[in-house]
Structure 1
Amino acid sequence: MSAPARRPLRAVPDEEDAPHRRLADAATAIGAPDVVLAFSRHGRRTVHHGGTATAPPVPRDLLRYETGSASKVYAGLLLAHLTCTGRLSGGEPAARCLDPRRAVGPDPVTLTHLITHTAGLPPLPADFYLRALPAWRTNPYARYSAAHVVAAFARHRPRHRPGTRWRYSNFGVAVLGHALAAALQTPWDTLLAEEVLRPLGLNGTALTATGPDTDALGHRPDGTPVPALDAGGFRAAGAVRATPDDLLTLLEAHLDPPPGSPLADALREVRRPVLRRGVGHRHVHTLTWFRHPTDHGPMYFHSGATLGQQTFLGFRPGTGTALAAVCTRRHHGRDPFVPTAYALLADAL
């Protein structure tokens, strides 16, 4: 994957501009070493970047940030694209994709079950913690390879019939990535680049860190730096790193699919609700996004975190607005990042 395009977001120069003030206030509330808030309203972009740390040599809005679980929106968009173009149906048993010789039962885990967190899989494989423990504060996922993920899936026996219960699972989306790569006989990184990143012009997006001139440095709550993420066998579930410009381009494509884009149908498909859960079925999910109601139509969003960075992505078709928020700090417990970013988008008109 090429280095990030050195194209800054189109910032509003007037510091008194109301959207800019709101972004600046939100960045202050977040209080992370590095913060970039990139907002779009009907294609007009406003950006604020700052933080409590000394500014890095490369401007903050030109660096790539680890998106963590927000990587799953790329995996979901890829699956939607493969189904919209007729190469897959989504109903394929994942085990059969991984091994065409393997027998499957009457209720197999399908590709759609994996991306919608309804496969009956736990958040992580049962033996993950034992393997990851020696590197728990540095790079725990790096110790769990693709072979480990596939073997753990082959061993697992769901407690509930697939498709009947929702349980968020990094494990499940990791398996999806390996199943898609096997089904298309193409490595995951290549598959994502050729089918999603390149058609959308996301040249500042990659799945591997390349150094301080391209990638932001994460921090723990106490300010100590964190090594760049190595996602191990969980690349589909959390390896994407991207510039704020690319993140906002992705969101704008969801708001208004580019005419003639090979991904136009998939971009519309991933906005469609596919399941409801919780008391009164109040929690609505699409293939890739959490969806909440607002007074001006639904808001779609997904957040993600690694050991030292956080991301929030969201868009609202009814108001033509989108927000890509990133920061280089990971708090556990009461952390203002996601609530601040969520409120910023929810209140934008």
Structure 2
Amino acid sequence: MTNPVDELVRRTAERLAARRKGAVVVGAAHGDLTATYGADPGTLFEIGSITKTFTSLALARLVVRGELTLGRPLRDLLPAAVPRRDGHDIELVHLACHTSGLPRLPKGLMPRALWQTADPYAGCTEAVLLDGLARTRLRSTPGRRFRYSNLGAGLLGLALARHAGVGYDELIQAEICRPLGLTDTRVTLTGEHASRLAPGHSAFGRPRPGWRLAALAGAGGLHSTVPDLLRLARATFGEAPEELVKAIALSRGTGHRLGRASTAHPGWLSMTRAGDREGPRLLFHNGGTGGYRSLLAVIPERRAAVAVLSADARAVDRPGLGLLAQMVSS
């Protein structure tokens, strides 16, 4: 029997690969069907900010188990002076939804350094982050405004790992990867995993070194494959252990409205699709590092998902979202 998703995925992968220097893998799931095209499906990529989806899901698991609450102040989990504003503490949910008031980047790291430096986050050790945090002024009252913050997401990963008494990588392995069977998702690559990492490239096709986010790993330090990301997507369909299903439901039920059509949830952005205002919402997150781009987009009620990974720093959002739209309309 012909898989109707195959041709859509193949065309998308071929269009992307034709214009890029680095490897590309495109995958999709629709109902019980799955298709993957491009480089070897086992190829590993830096997934950048899709890491935030894993970090926030780990928080939701700890909340479901009763170990933490979404409203727990960050100051309870870190040995540092955490800034406040207008008498309000930064809560864990604020970090997950980007409403903490923290700046986008750690103190002393300028935006231009992200693209002018081979590994801009390499110096973001725990000591450096906590020292800078104590000297950071919040841009808004916690919980009031959406301000996307890599610093906030990284601090969330650091705080959760300290709470669990393990490193961030082990936290994600224990809370998400092992329960879902994600064998290729990890921060540190060694041996056989390292040999499968696709070399990264700039938007102009020049080789780019990998990023190591040090203590900010929770903001964007994971590597993964398309099959692993599709397994995570299927967890939003309900295909996961009960505690993870509950954690995903908690994340989807928690959010900060950004406008009439979009909401920031822990680990995801959601939006209604044009022409489908009364239909199910799209959940998505993208990612980018110096030499990679990524997208994970899901419509759980339609049991449809797309994952795109590219070892080239040009965006993949439009073709990936276009693929998803074609799948659910066909």
Deviations 1:83-112, CA, capped at 9 Å, x for gaps: 011000121211221028989784111111
Q: Which moved more, 1:151-160 or 1:99-108?
A: 99-108
Q: 240, 243, 256: which one pairs with 1:262?
A: 243
Deviations 1:54-111, CA, capped at 9 Å, x for gaps: xxxxxx2112111100100001100011101100012121122102898978411111
Establish whether residue 99 from structure 1 lines up as the match of residue 79 from structure 2. Answer: yes
Map 1:9-20 → 2, pairs under 5 A: 18-20=4-6
Shift of 1:222: 2.6
Give 1:235's aligned amino acid.
A
TM-score between the two structures when normalised by the length of structure 1: 0.84
Deviations 1:16-63, CA, capped at 9 Å, x for gaps: x6422222222233232311111111131111115xxxxxxxxx2112
Shift of 1:137: 3.6
SS at match of 2:26: strand
Aligned counterpart, 2:226 = 244
Deviations 1:281-313, CA, capped at 9 Å, x for gaps: 432122221111133411111000111111100
Establish whether residue 303 from structure 1 lines up as the match of residue 289 from structure 2. Answer: no
Partners of 2:283 and 2:101 in 1: CA distance: 24
Give 1:320's aligned amino acid.
R
Aligned counterpart, 1:188 = 168
Establish whether residue 201 from structure 1 lines up as the match of residue 184 from structure 2. Answer: no
Map 1:1-349 → 2, pairs under 5 A: 18-30=4-16, 31-32=19-20, 33-50=22-39, 60-99=40-79, 106-129=87-110, 133=113, 136-210=116-190, 213-258=195-240, 260-278=241-259, 281-294=260-273, 295=276, 296-331=279-314, 335=315, 337-349=316-328
Q: Which moved more, 1:337-346 or 1:180-189?
A: 180-189
SS at match of 1:230: coil
Deviations 1:189-226, CA, capped at 9 Å, x for gaps: 22221111111111111102336522111111232222
Partners of 1:177 and 1:218 in 2: CA distance: 25
Give 1:264's aligned amino acid.
V
Deviations 1:212-264, CA, capped at 9 Å, x for gaps: 52211111123222222211221000011112111111111111242x44322
Partners of 2:226 and 2:50 in 1: CA distance: 13
8 Å Cα contact 1:216/1:328 also seen in 2: yes
Structure 2, unaligned stretches of length 5 or more?
Answer: none
Partners of 1:104 and 1:302 in 2: CA distance: 28
SS at match of 1:304: strand
Structure 1, unaligned stretches of length 5 or more?
Answer: 1-11, 51-59
8 Å Cα contact 1:96/1:103 also seen in 2: no
Partners of 1:87 and 1:176 in 2: CA distance: 15
Partners of 1:134 and 1:312 in 2: CA distance: 20
8 Å Cα contact 1:218/1:329 also seen in 2: yes
Partners of 1:284 and 1:101 in 2: CA distance: 30
Shift of 1:329: 0.3
SS at match of 1:98: coil
Deviations 1:296-349, CA, capped at 9 Å, x for gaps: 411111000111111100111222111111111003xxx4x2111112113322
Partners of 1:102 and 1:75 in 2: CA distance: 20
8 Å Cα contact 2:83/2:138 also seen in 1: no
8 Å Cα contact 2:202/2:312 also seen in 1: yes
State the identity as a percent.
29
Give 2:326's aligned amino acid.
D
Give 2:128's aligned amino acid.
H
SS at match of 1:99: coil
